[in-house]
Amino acid sequence: MRYEAPETLKSAVTLLAKEKGLAFVLAGGTDLLVKMKGGFLEPDLVVDIKRIKGVFDITKSATGFRIGAAVPGVALGENAALVKAWPGVVEGANLIGSKQVQGRCTMVGNLCNGSPAADGVPALIAGNAKVVISGPKGKRTIPVEQVPVSPGRISLKKGEIIEAILLPKRPANSSDAYLRFIPRTEMDIAVVSAAVNLTLDGKGTVKDARVVLGAVAPTIIVVPAAAKALIGSKLDAAALEKLAAACSAACKPIDDKRGTIEFRTKVAGVLARRAAEIAYKRAGGK
Amino acid sequence: MSGVHVTTTINGDAVEFVCNADEPLLDVLRNRLGMTGAKEGCGTGDCGACSVTVNGRLVCSCLVLGAEVQGAKVGTIEGMAKGDQLHPLQKNFIAHAALQCGICTPGFLIAAKALLDKNPDPSEEEIRFGLAGNLCRCTGYDKIVRAVQATAKEMRGA
Ligand SMILES: Cc1cc2nc3c(=O)[nH]c(=O)nc-3n(C[C@H](O)[C@H](O)[C@H](O)COP(=O)(O)OP(=O)(O)OC[C@H]3O[C@@H](n4cnc5c(N)ncnc54)[C@H](O)[C@@H]3O)c2cc1C
Ligand code: FES
Ligand code: FES
């Protein structure tokens, strides 16, 4: 295996594009190095992107936030402006692993690992986040939900690197939340998860909503019917009931010792409802 | 496999080494530099016995490549005591019998120091969550939590 740590995005892309063998980007390494150690992957080339300028930056502008590809979980939590605008995104990313893992893990790595149970991803999708991709043919920007294709597979092409995540500007009276169910209290993989992003009008009626579920299908899924159940409501019991039913109906989970199909299907509705209530409160609804 | 030449700083000292491209920092520390304080419990980020800091961030050295610390500042358990003077956490781990076999202890000390550096007055819950990435097979954790609480109190008073 060769290790390269180029200082520009361009040379990183070239290295990856030219490699004839198996090549991987290295961000925090908390998925990649575990797979290498376990003998599941034997890369010929690893391209560490952490020496590229700007990859550790979180920048706020008129259009929203730009989060560099190498920003570790712990740094997201340290950014007060980001926490205020996107509490759900940050709480999802901060649920990944331990403090040690937080020192390294990135949201982009979480996304590119392609797990339907990735904690850092549902709130990004609920928040209409996009990724900026650099590749041999130039740059493109796509919605986060277009990255995962199936468990462990993503839509990036050879030589492509995600350089940053873009979160849009928050409208007034708007917030998000993320919840997951795990059998322990920390350090575990989500059995079910839910992210909800809400925008209210001045009177507390939901104007816009996005509901996303994790670990209940081969990829993380957006549930438009669940969002529809909330729009026009003040999160009354009937709307929440409809939301939960829509979420359960959208589930196509696996059955395993960590959670049966029945359990995951039910809990998806419960978590979505609780996440909606938290997001509603954060958005200023009463 | 071609070697990677790395220049870095460990506990304030300039250090140079050559390692394999896929060699974890933990193996570099233990096998090449003779710094055997960091332990390998799992090798996959689950147990925290290999905890070190890289540029001030708490990490598992089993999940960092040696090649990655080029130009970085690494902190290990070997740098915790100042000569014969133990760090208050080390003293309190002894005083509270917060170790039995001791294999988890360097990792707990590094993680506990990182916790207290950020939060000098943590609640018991914050301590337990903060140290959730460190596993201990012997103590049942309570004594470790007490030792950290005692240290926090002592260091705030000092
Ligand atoms: C002990 C432990 C606990 C964990 N707990 C959780 C948990 O609770 N929830 C959870 O969701 N995950 C968990 N994980 C998994 C892992 O930590 C996360 O998925 C993490 O976010 C991965 O990020 P990384 O930067 O370390 O990725 P890396 O390992 O560096 O990369 C992961 C994959 O993405 C690719 N990649 C990375 N960056 C880019 C980029 N910029 N462009 C293109 N491709 C890229 C890599 O090539 C690799 O294939 C845990 C892991 C460990 C070791
Ligand atoms: S040896 Fe690194 S976490 Fe267990
Ligand atoms: S003292 Fe033995 S593992 Fe903690």
User: Can you give the residue ranges of every domain in chain A?
Assistant: 2-168, 174-282
pLDDT higher than 90, residue B1:
no
Answer CATH for A174-282 from 3.30.390.50, 2.40.50.140, 3.50.50.60, 3.30.565.10: 3.30.390.50
Confidence at residue A272, expressed as pLDDT on a 0 to 100 scale: 98
pLDDT higher than 60, residue A133:
yes
Phi first, then psi, for residue A176 (nearest 5°) are: -145, 170
Confidence at residue A197, expressed as pLDDT on a 0 to 100 scale: 98
* Interval between CA B6 and ligand 3 midpoint (Å): 33
Per CB-CB distance under 8 Å, the chain A contacts of B44 are 34, 37-38
Indicate the domain borders of chain B.
Answer: 3-79, 88-156
pLDDT higher than 70, residue B158:
no
* Ligand 1 proximity of A49 Cβ (cutoff 6 Å): yes
Say which of A1, A28, A101 has its CB closest to residue B133. Answer: A101
Give the mean model confidence (pLDDT) for residues A77-89: 98
What's the complex ipTM?
0.96
A252 and chain B: CB distance < 8 Å anywhere? no
- How would residue A56 be classed by pLDDT, with cut points 50, 70 and 90? very high
A2 and chain B: CB distance < 8 Å anywhere? yes
Give me the CATH topology for the region A2-168. 3.30.465
- How would residue A105 be classed by pLDDT, with cut points 50, 70 and 90? very high
User: How does B88-119 read in b/e, with b if 16+ C-beta sit within 10 Å?
Assistant: bbbbbbeebebbeeebbbbbbbbbbbbbbeee
Mean of all residue pLDDT scores within chain B? 96
Q: Give this prediction's pTM.
A: 0.96
End-to-end alpha carbon distance in chain A: 57
B3 vs chain A: nearest CA distance in angstroms? 9
Tens digit of each residue's pLDDT (9 = 90 or more) over A157-194: 999 999 999 999 999 999 999 999 998 877 788 999 99
CATH architecture of the region B3-79: Roll (3.10)
Quote the percentage of chain A above a pLDDT of 90. 95
Confidence at residue A66, expressed as pLDDT on a 0 to 100 scale: 98
* Ligand 2 proximity of B50 Cβ (cutoff 6 Å): yes
Give me the CATH topology for the region B88-156. DNA polymerase; domain 1 (1.10.150)
Confidence at residue A189, expressed as pLDDT on a 0 to 100 scale: 87
* Ligand 2 proximity of B60 Cβ (cutoff 6 Å): yes
Per CB-CB distance under 8 Å, the chain B contacts of A100 are 45, 48, 51, 58-60, 111, 133
pLDDT higher than 80, residue A284:
yes
- How would residue A154 be classed by pLDDT, with cut points 50, 70 and 90? very high
* Ligand 3 proximity of B137 Cβ (cutoff 6 Å): yes
Give the mean model confidence (pLDDT) for residues B12-24: 98
- How would residue B144 be classed by pLDDT, with cut points 50, 70 and 90? very high
Tens digit of each residue's pLDDT (9 = 90 or more) over B52-86: 999 999 999 999 999 999 999 999 999 999 999 99
Q: Counting atoms of ligand 2 from 1, which one is nearest the CA of B51?
A: 2
